[in-house]
Amino acid sequence: MFKVDNFISFHDLTPDAKFLWSSSSTTTCIGWEPEELEGVPAYDVIHPDDIAYIKVAHGENVLNDMVGSQVMVRFKHKDGSWIPCMALFSLCYDYIVTCSSLIPESE
């Protein structure tokens, strides 16, 4: 059976990296409906311990017009748990495109 294990999101270029859009698979992966995240700063759903280095990567991408970065990040699931993901984000014109893939738990 096919299992969805990633979601795509677009963010604005502000320091808050607010969600502009996210794919329907966001609900499967981290519990939020795409509409619930629209306008929400990305840092509101990122683990507090991950924010500092994510902000550095975000700033470098925007300020230096970098092609992309890959980071490990924990997203807050709607149920309050933390979901580890590998996020690849790229600057694309006037927004940032992010593809976040769930990191499977060790078996």
CATH number at residue 89: 3.30.450.20
Could you tell me how many residues make up the chain?
107
Q: Tell me, what's the pLDDT at 107?
A: 44
| Within-domain flag for 51 | yes
pTM beyond 0.85: the answer is yes
Cβ partners under 8 Å of residue 97, min gap 6: 8, 9, 10, 89, 90
Q: Tell me, what's the pLDDT at 89?
A: 87
| Within-domain flag for 10 | yes
Flag the least confident range among 16-30, 52-66, 68-82.
52-66
Query: In the structure, what pLDDT confidence band is assigned to residue 46 with cuts at 50, 70 and 90?
Result: very high
Average predicted confidence (pLDDT) for the chain: 90
**Distance in angstroms between the alpha carbons of the first and the last residue of the chain:** 19
| Total domains present in the chain | 1
CA distances from 94 to 10, 68, 87 (A): 10, 14, 19
d(CA 41, CA 16): 5
Query: In the structure, what pLDDT confidence band is assigned to residue 56 with cuts at 50, 70 and 90?
Result: confident
d(CA 94, CA 40): 17
Flag the least confident range among 3-7, 28-32, 43-47, 57-61.
57-61
Cβ atoms of residues 20 and 95 within 8 Å: yes
Q: Which domain holds residue 16?
A: 6-102
| Within-domain flag for 107 | no
| Within-domain flag for 1 | no
